[in-house]
Amino acid sequence: MSDLDRALASADAALDASLERLFAWLKIPSISTDPAYRHGCREAADWLKRDLASIGFAAELRETAGHPIVLAKRPKPGAPHVLFYGHYDVQPVDPLDKWETPPFEPRIAAGPGGKKIIVARGSSDDKGQVMTFVEACRAWIAATGALPIGVTLMIEGEEESGSINLPGFLEEAKDELAADVALVCDTTMWGEGRPAITSSLRGLVFEEIVIRAANRDLHSGMYGGAARNPLHVLAKIVADLHDEAGRVALPGFYDGVAETPDDVRAQWSTLGLDAGSFLGPIGLSLPAGETDRMIIEQIQSRPTCDVNGMWGGYLGAGAKTVIAAEAHAKISFRLVGEQDPAAIRQAFRAFVKERLPADCTVEFIGHKGSRAIQLPYDSAALAKTRGALQAEWGAVPITIGSGGSIPVVGDFKRTLGLDTLLVGFALDDDRIHSPNEKYDLESFRKGARSWIRILAALAQ
Amino acid sequence: MSDLDRALASADAALDASLERLFAWLKIPSISTDPAYRHGCREAADWLKRDLASIGFAAELRETAGHPIVLAKRPKPGAPHVLFYGHYDVQPVDPLDKWETPPFEPRIAAGPGGKKIIVARGSSDDKGQVMTFVEACRAWIAATGALPIGVTLMIEGEEESGSINLPGFLEEAKDELAADVALVCDTTMWGEGRPAITSSLRGLVFEEIVIRAANRDLHSGMYGGAARNPLHVLAKIVADLHDEAGRVALPGFYDGVAETPDDVRAQWSTLGLDAGSFLGPIGLSLPAGETDRMIIEQIQSRPTCDVNGMWGGYLGAGAKTVIAAEAHAKISFRLVGEQDPAAIRQAFRAFVKERLPADCTVEFIGHKGSRAIQLPYDSAALAKTRGALQAEWGAVPITIGSGGSIPVVGDFKRTLGLDTLLVGFALDDDRIHSPNEKYDLESFRKGARSWIRILAALAQ
């Protein structure tokens, strides 16, 4: 029996214990964006630190201005070294009443087709995915007493709230984080049984605006007709953000967006990602994006704009005839190619100001901003990883783009000079960021086995 | 000393005790629209019933499917009889953090220019106004042992949530409610020191819509660009509701809207209600309504449309890249002339459906609906009331239209055959429906004195 086979067997034998550990971690409510969960974030970090220490990593919490970063190292002199990145923080859980069971009480349930799923906030994004890697390390160490290569884990607690303290930490800890390649487990497979390596990521600009009109809420009977309603102003701005063809209407928005090469588009068109297969499962049937683009382009290679939250006035039960003093919106842009986040933020702010009546004001609250990223197709690590995934899944892994943003990938390149391999085992129906988030038990089990193989492959 | 003078003197002497009673009533949180305050509503009704019984009214609570109605009667054989209407329920208090002191802890404070104001939810709308009439009755009875005319008070508890059980009660209690004229104290003066009688009221259609797209909240990284965002759909609908000239864009919306006669417009134009005087105090400067109308028309004689609440997606702190499954809006229309509430509701629903992508759905929740009303200018009661108000305030009362709706006025005409005199002592800056609602102490004091005089005048 090879070392690899022994490590795989060890992982299989320890599956129940692995799940117990994952559940213990999932129970800790580590919502980074909400100050009420500050303690939960630290607890989640601390749990992971202790778990990694228990399998021989030199593990510690590194303080930041926000939530701490878990840094754990197990070097192997003479062997390659990888930097594994993930995050222990999770999304907020609202609307809470849409959860079938409480979000921080993990459970195994029967999913579509009777498959077993792990249901909890963070089960997929990203605690479940992080634990596939941790369990792979544990299996190697349990089976052989060692890892095939050197490993540093850097697990942050602010991914869901903008990773604002991570770039500073990378600068500061640059030398400690030295590695040959970075690994990230925060992405999806192409579909059940079909592994994928993500090679491009969309960037992100996230803006919040508050439009203010009157100096107080007004009675619409008394003032309606004469007083400016900031909700109308906001609606007009949002309505203007897209044109009839589904394009984003900010001037200069498409600067730096390259056309996808014809051969790549041709390959994509064979993947069968149509409205029925992509939108059907979420209850939709009509692609809402640019009318002249395939769905796979709309979600991977084209920039977009979405309102993520919008509110103002009376939100309670029943009728209240009020004209609100304020209107709020959270709006994000997904970027591709060479689009410049700063330029797009500027263009958006100008776009809003142009549409603002002279007696209203607007406040801009800037959140995340990151460029899109494209990884080189010809790296040796990519080829080794493809081989390892094919061995585990018996299917050729697909190299895809991701519609989401993982800003740290850009930071790894810029600050640490590292290319990143994005390998994840989540599925599109995992409901990440939504109620009843889940992770397939098979994603967890075969995810850990995949990393066991990838660690071996990278040692070659 | 005449009976009238004795009653006026009695009211003046008892002002402190009057305020104590008002404060006791204001302390009871009777928010009718929120089921959490069901008990507070009943307590407020019960308090008033006991107070009216204490001055010799046959007072009782009449149950409805919702909050009870206070009905109190003190007939005077051979004399005219009036039906006085008001409401003991109050608006919700959100945003609570904008209140300088808790909304149900009434206090006397210094207002603009050092005048004394009563600050509390309901101080103006409508508990303070109702108590001007109750105190007037008390003063007559204390000073002379009797009222100059017969009086029935009907004080309901659902005005702020649509008065849904009142029309049924009027039908049911038709005979008990017989009177010569109805009086309502729920409107404003023209300005400080300048009394007004309201002779026209805008009607109201209040609709709530829920637009649903995907069957769950989505991650905008994964689905953004392809998945329909219901907040965009909603924004487009709201943006389309008004045209460039500020007119409401529903087809047929202006059917039944008569032009105001030239002489009335000419009179209005002398009142000096311009953007500076009307919008300045609320921090605005540009009239937002129909561009070819005076402000007084925009708020009194022209129909309007306002979004009173709008929400969807992530409303918490920080960034969350979600595409919401639902978008909500509460939208109201103010009606004038012969506009038909049912037709406008229909037109609005058709307008929304026309703008709905085929894979989205919309749910309509219909709230209030009432026609506009115009009272006859030549009634004897109106002339007597004008005289009484002039005697108290030393200024000619202005006959105005109201931008708000008081649906009960239409019901009084239809069900009871009664014309209604709307006399109120609120001021435009009373912040009704808003944080820090207030009622001028002078409104309260001279309001009670005004009713004392009106009761005497109506006895003639």
Listed residue (B84, B231, B402) closest to A224, CA to CA: B402
What kind of architecture, by CATH, is found in domain A203-257+303-369?
A: 2-Layer Sandwich (3.30)
Measured between beta carbons, the chain B residues lying within 8 angstroms of A330 are: 313-314, 319-320
Give the mean pLDDT of chain B: 94
Of B33, B219, B310, the CB nearest to A432: B219
* All residues at 6 or more sequence positions from A169 whose CB lies less than 8 Å from its CB, including other chains: A62, A64, A69, A156
Contact A320/B218, CB-based, under 8 Å? no
Measured between alpha carbons, how far is B242 from B60 in angstroms, rounded to an integer? 47
Q: What is the pLDDT of residue A56?
A: 97
Measured between beta carbons, the chain B residues lying within 8 angstroms of A231 are: 238, 307, 309-310
Pairing of strands A58-62, A69-74: antiparallel
Question: Residues of chain A whose pLDDT is less than 70?
Answer: 376-377, 405
Q: How far is A173 from chain B (nearest CA, A)?
A: 27
Nearest 10 degrees: Cα torsion A244, B364, A218, B86? 160
Listed residue (B239, B230, B221, B218) closest to B359, CA to CA: B230
Average pLDDT estimate for B182-195: 92
Q: Tell me, what DSSP letter sits at residue B359?
A: T
Contact B314/A308, CB-based, under 8 Å? yes
* Protein fold of B203-263+288-370: Alpha-Beta Plaits (3.30.70)
Q: What is the CATH number of domain B3-201+372-459?
A: 3.40.630.10
pLDDT tens-digit series, residues B110-156: 998 899 999 999 999 999 999 999 999 999 999 999 999 999 999 99
Q: Tell me, what DSSP letter sits at residue A334?
A: E
Unique residue bearing structure tokens 């349930």? A109
Measured between alpha carbons, how far is A36 from B434 in angstroms, rounded to an integer? 29
Contact A307/B231, CB-based, under 8 Å? yes
* All residues at 6 or more sequence positions from A403 whose CB lies less than 8 Å from its CB, including other chains: A202, A299, A300, A334, B221, B222, B223, B224, B225
Listed by start position, the domains of chain B span 3-201+372-459, 203-263+288-370
Indicate the burial class of B163 (C-beta count within 10 angstroms; 0-12, 13-18, 19 or more). Answer: buried
Give, in order, the Cα–Cα distances in Å from A230 to each of A237, A324, A326, B274, B301: 11, 7, 6, 21, 23
CB–CB of B210/B377 below 8 Å? Answer: no
* All residues at 6 or more sequence positions from A125 whose CB lies less than 8 Å from its CB, including other chains: A90, A91, A186, A426, A430, A432, A433, A437
Contact A204/B239, CB-based, under 8 Å? no
Unique residue bearing structure tokens 């290679």? A301
Contact A308/B309, CB-based, under 8 Å? no
Contact B232/A311, CB-based, under 8 Å? no
Of B278, B315, B359, the CB nearest to A226: B278
Q: What is the pLDDT of residue B397?
A: 85
Listed residue (B296, B297, B307) closest to B257, CA to CA: B297
* All residues at 6 or more sequence positions from A364 whose CB lies less than 8 Å from its CB, including other chains: A207, A208, A209, A349, A352
CB–CB of B152/B81 below 8 Å? Answer: yes
Q: What is the pLDDT of residue B379?
A: 79
pLDDT tens-digit series, residues B328-359: 999 999 999 889 999 999 999 999 999 999 99
CB–CB of A227/A211 below 8 Å? Answer: no
When computed from its CA atoms, the radius of gyration of chain B, rounded to whole angstroms, is 23
Listed residue (A302, A437, A276) closest to B224, CA to CA: A302
pLDDT tens-digit series, residues B75-94: 999 999 999 999 999 999 99
Q: B266 pLDDT band (50/70/90 cuts)?
A: confident
Of B216, B224, B311, the CB nearest to A431: B216
ipTM of the complex: 0.70
Measured between alpha carbons, how far is A345 from A362 in angstroms, rounded to an integer? 14
Angle at A263 between CA A260 and CA A267, to 5 degrees: 100
Q: What is the pLDDT of residue B377?
A: 63
Q: B14 pLDDT band (50/70/90 cuts)?
A: very high
When computed from its CA atoms, the radius of gyration of chain A, rounded to whole angstroms, is 23
A92 is written with which tokens? 């907020």
For residues B310 and A270, the model is more confident at B310
Percent of chain B with pLDDT strictly greater than 70: 99
How many of the other CB atoms lie within 10 Å of CB of A436? Answer: 18
Measured between alpha carbons, how far is B402 from A159 in angstroms, rounded to an integer? 53
Pairing of strands B196-201, B420-423: antiparallel
pLDDT tens-digit series, residues A360-408: 999 999 987 888 887 766 778 988 999 999 999 998 787 777 777 677 8
Give the start-end residues of each E strand in A294-414: 304-313, 322-323, 326-335, 361-370, 373-374, 398-402
One-letter amino acid at B169 equals: F
CB half-sphere exposure, B367, CA atoms < 13 A = 25
Measured between beta carbons, the chain A residues lying within 8 angstroms of B424 are: none
Q: How far is A312 from chain B (nearest CA, A)?
A: 6
Q: What is the pLDDT of residue A42?
A: 98
Indicate the burial class of A314 (C-beta count within 10 angstroms; 0-12, 13-18, 19 or more). Answer: buried
Measured between alpha carbons, how far is A55 from A68 in angstroms, rounded to an integer? 21
